[in-house]
Structure 1
C-alpha cells in the first residue's frame, strides 16, 4: 500500500497496518492480532510504571527527564501490579512512533477504561498538551494513569487507551447533541466507594453488585426523570438517542461547554466507523456516559444535553467495521464495562 496523506482525514485500519509495516509505528513486542481497530490503534502498557507526586507536561524536555522531578518510586509490572485509586502514575507504553510529515495523532481512553473511572492521558517528549501527538513526532509514548473510584490490577500489555492517526486537519462534518436518558427503570449505576480491585485483563469476571449501586428513575410533578449528582461520585448513564457512525466517518464525544464546569461527561470519546449501524449488524446502540461531578451537586433532567458528537471523515472506507468480529458494546443500551458480568435480573 502506498502511503499517501494528501487527503485530510482519519486513517482507517488498512492505513494503520501499512504504517506498522513501514516502521512508522513500532513496538517492544509483536503487535496483537486484534490491536488495530477500524480507525484506531490500541496502545499497551510496557513493563515499568512510576508513582508520581504530581501530573505534568514535558514542555521543552523529554518525559524521562521530567520524571526525575516527580517520581516517588518505580513499579515493575511483570506479574501484575495494583494501581491504587487516588494516586497518579506514569507508565511507559510498548508502542513508539516515527510519524512521516503530514501525519499527526490524538489519543483517548478506551471505553473499558472510562467505564471504571480510570483517567488516562497520553504524554510525548516535549509535548505541550495531553493526548495530542505533533505532526512528524519521533519518539516514545507514555501514559498518565489516575484511578479515581476503583483500584485496578494491570500488567504489561494491558490496554487503557487508543490512538487515532490523522492526515492534516479533517473538516468537521457535523455535530450532534447528546441527551441523557433518565425516564424509566434502572437509569444508571453509581460506583461504590469501598469496592475491591478490578483486574483490567479479566473479562466478565467481576460481580457488578460488589462495585456498583443501581439507580432507579425518579420523576417530579409529572415530569420525566431527574438525577441529583453528588460531588465526588462516579456515575454510568446512557444517552437518550441512538448513536450511528457512518462507515466512512469516525466521531468523538466532546463536552457540551467546558465553561459549565459542573461535571465531566464521557472520558472515552472515540466512536469507530460502523458503531450502531445496520451494516455492522448493530442498529440501536446508545452512547454510554461516564459522569463525574466536581465541587457542587448538580441536578440532571431527562433529555438534558450533556455532550456533543463531532463527526470527521476517514481518508477511505475501512476494510473492517466496528463490531464485525463481535464487540462488548455493539447494540448496547445502559451497560457496564466488559470486566463485569451482566447485571442480575430481579
Structure 2
C-alpha cells in the first residue's frame, strides 16, 4: 500500500518482522529497477512489492497487515569490529543466563558480534526448541494468544549429549546461548555467520530495534530466537556453536521511544518464544 519518495542520500533495507519469520513465512521486498531483493536504492521513488511464500503453515492475512519492515540508511552507519569492541567496553552487549555480563575476552568479534546456539534447555524446562508439524492447520495472523501450540509444534527435549541433529527440510525454533543488548543510539541486525559453514539457515527476521534487551537500562539482555532450517541434508549442531552474528549500526539520533519501554513490544523478555499467535504458558 505504501510508496516511497526517498531523498538522494537515503537508501533502504527491508527485513521480515519477527512474527513473520517465526511462522516460516518467506517474504522479500521488490522494487523497480533494483537488481537485489530487500534493498531500496538511494533516491528511489515508486511502489514497493512484497513476495510472500508460507513454508510450514498456511496463513490468512488481511489487507493492511504488516509482514515486513523497512530501515532507512544514510552514509556509513555500520560499526567496525574495533568500534564494536569499544562499544562493548562502555557496557556489556552480551549476558549469560545467570544475569552476568559475558567478559569481553570471551566475546567473539568477526565482522560483527558472534553468538551461539543454546541446547541446554536450562531456562526452558529442558526444552531446547520446537519443530513444526508437517501438516498443520492454517494460522490467522490477526489472532493473538489464540492457538494451542501443540497443534502446530512439537517440543524438542534436551538431548543426552551436547549436540542435536536437525532433520533436512524441517523448520525449527531455537534460541541463542547468550542474551544481547542493543543500547539507545544503535540498531542491530542478525546476519549469517558463515555461508560456507553448512547448508543451514538460521533466521528470516533479523532487525533489532534500539533498546532490544536494554529497555530503560534495567534489562540485562534478551535471548535471540532463531528460525532454523537445514536444507537438503541433516545438520549436526552443538551447544554453544557459533551460528550467527549481529551487526551494529549507529543511529543519526537517539530515538524518543525505545523497544520494550511503553510500546507493548511482543518479544522484549523472550526466551524460547513462539510467535504471538500462540498461547503462552
Q: TM-score if structure 1 supplies the norm length?
A: 0.69
- Determine if contact 2:215/2:259 at 8 Å carries over to the other structure: no
What is the alpha-carbon root mean square deviation over aligned residues?
A: 1.2
| Cα-to-partner distance string for 1:253-297 (whole Å, 9 max, x where unaligned) | 000111224100111000000000152553331000000111111
- The answer to whether residue 75 in structure 2 is matched with residue 168 in structure 1 is yes
How far, CA to CA, are the matches of 2:76 and 2:143 in structure 1? 37
Q: Greater strand percent: which structure?
A: 1
- The answer to whether residue 271 in structure 2 is matched with residue 330 in structure 1 is no
**Which structure has the larger Rg?**
1
- Determine if contact 1:217/1:226 at 8 Å carries over to the other structure: no
- The answer to whether residue 248 in structure 2 is matched with residue 341 in structure 1 is no
Counterpart secondary structure, 1:150: coil
Residues 103 and 151 from structure 1, CA distance in 2 versus in 1: closer, same or farther, beyond 3 angstroms? same
Q: Paired residue for 1:230?
A: 167
Q: Paired residue for 2:160?
A: 219
Structure 1 stretch displaced more, 281-290 or 296-305: 281-290
- Determine if contact 2:78/2:247 at 8 Å carries over to the other structure: no
- Out of 193, 200, 204, the residue aligned to residue 141 of structure 2 is 200
| Cα-to-partner distance string for 1:153-184 (whole Å, 9 max, x where unaligned) | 00101111000001123132432111000013
Q: Paired residue for 2:12?
A: 105
Counterpart secondary structure, 2:228: strand
Counterpart secondary structure, 1:100: coil
| Cα-to-partner distance string for 1:175-206 (whole Å, 9 max, x where unaligned) | 21110000130010000011100001111111
How far, CA to CA, are the matches of 2:243 and 2:173 in structure 1? 13
Q: Paired residue for 1:81?
A: none
Counterpart secondary structure, 2:146: coil
Q: Paired residue for 2:96?
A: none
Mapping of residues 265-304 of structure 1, within 5 Å: 265-279=202-216, 281-304=218-241
- The answer to whether residue 94 in structure 2 is matched with residue 156 in structure 1 is no
- The answer to whether residue 244 in structure 2 is matched with residue 307 in structure 1 is yes
| Cα-to-partner distance string for 1:199-244 (whole Å, 9 max, x where unaligned) | 0111111111100000011133xxxx22110011000000000010
How far, CA to CA, are the matches of 1:219 and 1:183 in structure 2? 10
Counterpart secondary structure, 1:159: coil
| Cα-to-partner distance string for 1:280-326 (whole Å, 9 max, x where unaligned) | 55333100000011111111110000000010100010011001122
Q: TM-score if structure 2 supplies the norm length?
A: 0.85
- Out of 197, 202, 212, the residue aligned to residue 260 of structure 1 is 197
Counterpart secondary structure, 2:119: coil
- Determine if contact 1:284/1:332 at 8 Å carries over to the other structure: no
How far, CA to CA, are the matches of 1:150 and 1:107 in structure 2? 23
- The answer to whether residue 93 in structure 2 is matched with residue 186 in structure 1 is no
| Cα-to-partner distance string for 1:138-159 (whole Å, 9 max, x where unaligned) | 0000001111000100010111
Give aligned pairs, total.
246
How far, CA to CA, are the matches of 1:154 and 1:160 in structure 2? 9
- Determine if contact 1:280/1:321 at 8 Å carries over to the other structure: no
Question: Any unmatched runs of 5+ in structure 2?
Answer: 85-111
How far, CA to CA, are the matches of 2:217 and 2:151 in structure 1? 34
